[in-house]
Structure formats: structure tokens, C-alpha cells
């Protein structure tokens, strides 16, 4: 097994292959994409995605045993193992619209693999897909008339953006689902042999294909559910005298619950949570499990409620009108340490504020290019310098927990703003008492506001 190919050079494919190439210098690793601009960016000094440590890993490996190319057909012919990491957006049309995954890219890829293969290959699903996709893919792949057999494995990726490289180097687990046949077991072993270069054997889980596929959807649903749970409690905290950070700490110290993923926020974003839950909901509906579908759907509904509630609060606190007022968003990425803005709550916040005729300014250290796309055709100002963005604002709304926002000179910012000056901390990262003492009216998530009137 010498040659690995990954189809799809995105947030998952790029970092994953860079780490495999780094950890396995004896393997040739190639990443292909239909998007030629993306491939040239991967081949340049300015990578198409921002991810801590990624530049260094790519610098070490690119041109040695890591290659980026647009020659999909040629690279398929060379490869022994093909990872498929193309996007699977939510369907926007027909049956399952708004819920199910749009599998057309996946199916096209399967047909392209079939058309360009003259020997057996192992195909690895990396994208998160609905349960039973691997089986469908195997049927397409094995429909060829030349007798070539493909094994399809499910190897869902659990990396989180912003920590992708560390997640890949030190995974909590690697999950590999395969057929329970001899060929299936051999294919699983071939993939295990790659990970075994740096991952301890007890962390490599072998399951059947459907368990692997469902585990990914379930893991994301559980994670998102924790955030929606604490966000639901944050609404109650705001209505009472409780403080959500205190509640979160108190419940997180119960070792059965644990402290992670209990940070109340303006809402979760990212390309996975909403999409995967809707997928799960669709799947449950398909199998007639209405109550189960409704249960998980509520996690997404609570998230939408939380973001809407945040904007409603801005409006309410600013005397029920933001028309003509300058409001500056600190952060646009869906979380810190990434430039990714997919499903970022900031998109909805910006749009809702614009509907209220606010004058919206957006600042972010890494996400302004994506923000420009998300907000195209809308009258929004983008400004990387937070001090410039804040000048003349009536309010600042913290959307992303970038470290840099914790350490700004808020006296300087306060002095440059219209009065009364407001801060809505959608991530609870600032020192609210200190800001209040500077003169700000401060509205955190899930705690009482601090006002001067
Ligand atoms: C997620 C999963 O964590 C990862 O395992 C999977 O492979 C892909 O989906 P990602 O979306 O990159 O990863 O980031 P994650 O750290 O999970 O954050 C998702 C969203 O939840 C972000 O908007 C984040 O700000 C928010 N969040 C997270 C909270 O609001 N509160 C928390 O306590 C944790
Ligand atoms: P993820 O976060 O899952 O990695 P991305 O959207 O970042 O998702 O990346 C998916 C990549 O897959 C994109 O760069 C897209 O151009 C690529 N892609 C989609 N369809 C195909 C295809 N048929 N062949 C090759 N690449 C594809």
C-alpha cells in the first residue's frame, strides 16, 4: 500500500492528508479537487484555510510526499486507497429538502472512481454521510463490468476546526467501519496499518459500517445537545438571578456530566452540527420514529431560538430601535481559531440587525473573506482592526471567542463610541464588571445585565 488519494481538498481533506503525510513519510499522499483555485492555494504560501499549525505541517510535507492536484482521473488510477472528503450539503430541492444530505457529489465521485480504476481499491468515506451511504456506494462501485471489487469503509473524521492538527495527531479515537467479510476485514486492516503509524491500537475502533456512520451523526448530535441544553438554561438564568457560568461549573463538576461543551453562547455554528442533526432527524422520520426525530430536531430549534433571542435582546436594551445605529460585531467565524463562517450565528445576527436597519460593521482576524461572501449584496462594512470598527458605534456584539478580544483596550474603545455605549457578549469572554466600571452597559449571555440606567 503506497499511494493514498483524497478527493476533496476542504477543511477535512486538507488537514487530514497533511497529517497522514507527515506521520507516514513512506506513503505518497495526494489531494485532488474540482476547484482549481483551491488547489493552487494549497500549492501556494497562502493556504485556502486557516488552521493553527497547518502551515508548518504542509511546509514539511508538500512536494516530499504530499501533493495537491486537479488531475482527478490520473490520481484515481495511481491510488491504492481513496479517501472521499467531498462536501455533502443539505438538499435544497425535492424529497427531504432542508433535511437530507445532497449526495449527488458523492455519487459522481463514486462513478468517477469506477470509470478510472483498473484494479481493486479501498474507498474510505471521510465525509459525514447518512447511514447506509457506504452500502449504496459499494453497489455503484461494484456495478462495473470488468469484475473489479471495491471495499467501502466508513472512517468518520472527528476533528474540530481550530484544533484540527492536534485532534488528528492525538485523536480520542479512530473509528473504522467495514464489512464483516474476509475482504472487508482486510480492507479495515489496511487502513488500521496507516493509522497505526502514530495512533495507539486501543484507540482504533473497528465496527460495522453502519455503526461507524451512525456514531458520527450521534456524536455530533450529543455535542450539540449539550450546547442547546446549557443555552436553554441561559435563557432561564436571564429571567432569574442565576448566572449560567456558575450553573455550568456546578453541573460540570459532576463527573458523570463533565465540564466540556457547557459554555453558553449566542448559538453553535459550523458545517457539521446542524447538518448532521437534520440528517439524523430525516433518518428517524424515514424509519417511522417520529418522537425520536422530534427530540433531536429540538436541539436545532433551541439553537435558532438562542440566536434570535440574542438579537431581540439587543433591540430591547437599545430602547427598541437600532435603526441608523452603528453596531459592530467582534468576530464573524463560527468559533475562534478558524476563518470558517459556515452556519456561523454571526450571519443571522448581522442579517437580523440589517432588517432592523442598523448600520452593521464586522471585524474578524481571519474570517473577513468568508464574511464578504456570506454578506454579499448587503450593505455591511468589513474592517479587520477592531478599534477602527468600534469607533462611533452604539454597540459592540461579541460573536466569536477570539483571544484577541479579551485583551483589547476597552477604555480606548469606550472613549471612541457613541453614548450610552453597549456591549453584548455573545460568548461570555469579557470581564463584565470591569467594562461596566468603564461606563459600558453590559449584557452577557445567561446573567443579569449591568446597566447605568
Ligand atoms: C464539530 C465536532 O466537535 C467535531 O468532532 C466534528 O468532527 C465536526 O463538528 P466543529 O464544528 O469544528 O466540530 O467545532 P466545535 O468545537 O464542535 O464547535 C461547534 C460550535 O459550537 C461552535 O460554534 C462553538 O463556538 C460552539 N460551542 C462549542 C458552544 O457554543 N459552546 C460550547 O461549549 C462548545
Ligand atoms: P469539509 O468541511 O467537509 O472538508 P469543504 O466544503 O471544505 O467540506 O470541502 C469539500 C471539497 O470537496 C471542496 O473543496 C469541493 O470543491 C470538493 N469537491 C466537491 N465535489 C467534488 C468532486 N466531485 N470531485 C472533487 N472534489 C470535489
Q: Quick one: pLDDT band at residue 1, thresholds 50, 70, 90?
A: low
- Which of 270, 414, 288 minimizes the C-alpha distance to 344? 270
> Looking at residue 143, what is its pLDDT?
85
- Which of 303, 315, 316, 306 minimizes the C-alpha distance to 237? 306
> Looking at residue 352, what is its pLDDT?
98
334 Cβ closer than 6 Å to some ligand 1 atom: yes
Whole-number Å distance, alpha carbon 259 to ligand 1 midpoint, is 15
Span 272-316, pLDDT tens digits = 999 999 999 999 999 999 999 999 999 999 999 999 999 999 999
Q: Ligand 2, from 6, 12, 34: best to mutate by most atoms within 8 Å of Cβ?
A: 34
Hey, how many other C-beta atoms are within 10 angstroms of the C-beta on 116? 16
83 Cβ closer than 6 Å to some ligand 2 atom: no
Alpha carbon separation from 97 to 271, 287, 424 (Å, rounded): 17, 17, 35
Span 165-205, pLDDT tens digits = 999 999 999 999 999 999 999 999 999 999 999 999 999 99
Residues above pLDDT 70, as percent of the chain: 100
- Which of 132, 157, 375 minimizes the C-alpha distance to 271? 157
CATH architecture of residue range(s) 3-207: 3-Layer(aba) Sandwich (3.40)
Helix ranges (H only) for 24-71 are 36-42, 54-61
Of the residues 6, 30, 272, 284, only one is catalytic, namely 272
Are 249 and 263 spatial neighbours (Cβ–Cβ below 8 Å)?
Answer: no
Closest atom of ligand 1 to CA, residue 263: 33
Q: Is 44 exposed, middle or buried (0-12, 13-18, 19+ CB in 10 A)?
A: exposed
Are 299 and 431 spatial neighbours (Cβ–Cβ below 8 Å)?
Answer: no
Using the predicted structure, report yes or no on whether residue 142 has a pLDDT greater than 90.
Answer: no
φ, ψ (nearest 5 deg) of residue 172: -65, -40
Using the predicted structure, report yes or no on whether residue 95 has a pLDDT greater than 90.
Answer: no
Are 326 and 392 spatial neighbours (Cβ–Cβ below 8 Å)?
Answer: yes
Q: Quick one: pLDDT band at residue 44, thresholds 50, 70, 90?
A: very high
Query: Cα–Cα distance between 118 and 121 in angstroms, integer?
Result: 9
128 Cβ closer than 6 Å to some ligand 2 atom: no
Strands 422-425 and 204-207: unpaired
Whole-number Å distance, alpha carbon 223 to ligand 1 midpoint, is 8
Whole-number Å distance, alpha carbon 401 to ligand 1 midpoint, is 12
11 Cβ closer than 6 Å to some ligand 2 atom: yes
228 Cβ closer than 6 Å to some ligand 1 atom: no
CA atoms within 13 A on the CB side of 292: 13
Closest atom of ligand 2 to CA, residue 49: 7
Residue 433: left (phi > 0), alpha (psi -120 to 50), or beta?
Answer: alpha
Closest atom of ligand 1 to CA, residue 156: 7
270 Cβ closer than 6 Å to some ligand 2 atom: no
272 among known catalytic residues:
yes
Using the predicted structure, report yes or no on whether residue 128 has a pLDDT greater than 80.
Answer: no
157 Cβ closer than 6 Å to some ligand 1 atom: yes
Does residue 420 have a cis peptide bond before it, meaning omega lies within 30 degrees of 0? Answer: yes
Whole-number Å distance, alpha carbon 273 to ligand 1 midpoint, is 8
305 Cβ closer than 6 Å to some ligand 1 atom: no
Using the predicted structure, report yes or no on whether residue 321 has a pLDDT greater than 90.
Answer: yes
The H or E element containing residue 326 is strand 326-330
Span 325-357, pLDDT tens digits = 999 999 999 999 999 999 999 999 999 999 999
133-136 own/partner pairs: CB under 8 Å, 24+ apart: 133/101, 133/103, 133/106, 133/213, 134/177, 134/209, 134/210, 134/213, 135/209, 135/210, 136/103
Q: Ligand 1, from 270, 305, 425: best to mutate by most atoms within 8 Å of Cβ?
A: 270
Q: Ligand 2, from 17, 33, 39: best to mutate by most atoms within 8 Å of Cβ?
A: 33
Strands 66-69 and 81-84: unpaired
Mean pLDDT of 379-387: 98
Strand order in the sheet with 3-7: 66-69, 28-32, 3-7, 81-84, 121-125, 150-154, 174-177, 204-207
Are 333 and 271 spatial neighbours (Cβ–Cβ below 8 Å)?
Answer: no
> Looking at residue 127, what is its pLDDT?
81
Residue ranges of domains in the chain: 3-207
Using the predicted structure, report yes or no on whether residue 91 has a pLDDT greater than 90.
Answer: no
> Looking at residue 196, what is its pLDDT?
98
Reduced to 3 states, what is the DSSP secondary structure of residue 290? Answer: helix
Query: Cα–Cα distance between 126 and 8 in angstroms, integer?
Result: 10
Chain mean pLDDT for the chain: 95
Using the predicted structure, report yes or no on whether residue 2 has a pLDDT greater than 90.
Answer: no
Span 424-436, pLDDT tens digits = 999 999 999 999 9
**Atom 11 (ligand 1): residue with closest C-alpha?**
270
φ, ψ (nearest 5 deg) of residue 64: -90, -70
427 Cβ closer than 6 Å to some ligand 1 atom: no
Amino acid at each position: 500500500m503506497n499511494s493514498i488519494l483524497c478527493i476533496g481538498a476542504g477543511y477535512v481533506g486538507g488537514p487530514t492528508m497533511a497529517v497522514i503525510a507527515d506521520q507516514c513519510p513512506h506513503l505518497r499522499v495526494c489531494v485532488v479537487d474540482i476547484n482549481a483555485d483551491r488547489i493552487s492555494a494549497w500549492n501556494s504560501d497562502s493556504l485556502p484555510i486557516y488552521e493553527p499549525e497547518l502551515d508548518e505541517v504542509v511546509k514539511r510535507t508538500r512536494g516530499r510526499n504530499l501533493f495537491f492536484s486537479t488531475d482527478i482521473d490520473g490520481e484515481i488510477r495511481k491510488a491504492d486507497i481513496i479517501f472521499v472528503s467531498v462536501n455533502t450539503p443539505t438538499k435544497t430541492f425535492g424529497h427531504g429538502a432542508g433535511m437530507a444530505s445532497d449526495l449527488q457529489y458523492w455519487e459522481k465521485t463514486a462513478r468517477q472512481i469506477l470509470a478510472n480504476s483498473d484494479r481493486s481499491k479501498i474507498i474510505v468515506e471521510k465525509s459525514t454521510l447518512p447511514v447506509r451511504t457506504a452500502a449504496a456506494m459499494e453497489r455503484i462501485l461494484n456495478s462495473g463490468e470488468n469484475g473489479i471489487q471495491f471495499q467501502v469503509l466508513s472512517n468518520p473524521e472527528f476533528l474540530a476546526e481550530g484544533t484540527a492538527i492536534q485532534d488528528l495527531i492525538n485523536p480520542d479515537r479512530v473509528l473504522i467501519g467495514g464489512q464483516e467479510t474476509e475482504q472487508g476485514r482486510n480492507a479495515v486492516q489496511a487502513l488500521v496499518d496507516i493509522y497505526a503509524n502514530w495512533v495507539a491500537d486501543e484507540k482504533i475502533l473497528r465496527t460495522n459500517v453502519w455503526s461507524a456512520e451512525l456514531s458520527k451523526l450521534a456524536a455530533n448530535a450529543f455535542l450539540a445537545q449539550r450546547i442547546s441544553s446549557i443555552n436553554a438554561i441561559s435563557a432561564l438564568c436571564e429571567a432569574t438571578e442565576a448566572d449560567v457560568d456558575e450553573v455550568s461549573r456546578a453541573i460540570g463538576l459532576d463527573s458523570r456530566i463533565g465540564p466540556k461543551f457547557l459554555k453558553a453562547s449566542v448559538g453553535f455554528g459550523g458545517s457539521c452540527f446542524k447538518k448532521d442533526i437534520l440528517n439524523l432527524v430525516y433518518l428517524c422520520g424515514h424509519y417511522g420514529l417520529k418522537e425520536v426525530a422530534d427530540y433531536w430536531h429540538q436541539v436545532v430549534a433551541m439553537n435558532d431560538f438562542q440566536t434570535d433571542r440574542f438579537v431581540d435582546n439587543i433591540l430591547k436594551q437599545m430602547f427598541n430601535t437600532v435603526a441608523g445605529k452603528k453596531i459592530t460585531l467582534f468576530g464573524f467565524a463560527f468559533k475562534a481559531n478558524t476563518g470558517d463562517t459556515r452556519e456561523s450565528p454571526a450571519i443571522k445576527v448581522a442579517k437580523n440587525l440589517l432588517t432592523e436597519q442598523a448600520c452593521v460593521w464586522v471585524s474578524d482576524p481571519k474570517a473577513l473573506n468568508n464574511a464578504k461572501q456570506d454578506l454579499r449584496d448587503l450593505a455591511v462594512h468589513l474592517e479587520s482592526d477592531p478599534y477602527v470598527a468600534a469607533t462611533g458605534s452604539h454597540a459592540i456584539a461579541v460573536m466569536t471567542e477570539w483571544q484577541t478580544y479579551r485583551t483589547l483596550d476597552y477604555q480606548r474603545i469606550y472613549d471612541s463610541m457613541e453614548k450610552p455605549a453597549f456591549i453584548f457578549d455573545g460568548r461570555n469572554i469579557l470581564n463584565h464588571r470591569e467594562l461596566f466600571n468603564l461606563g459600558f452597559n453590559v449584557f452577557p449571555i445567561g446573567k443579569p445585565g449591568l446597566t447605568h440606567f
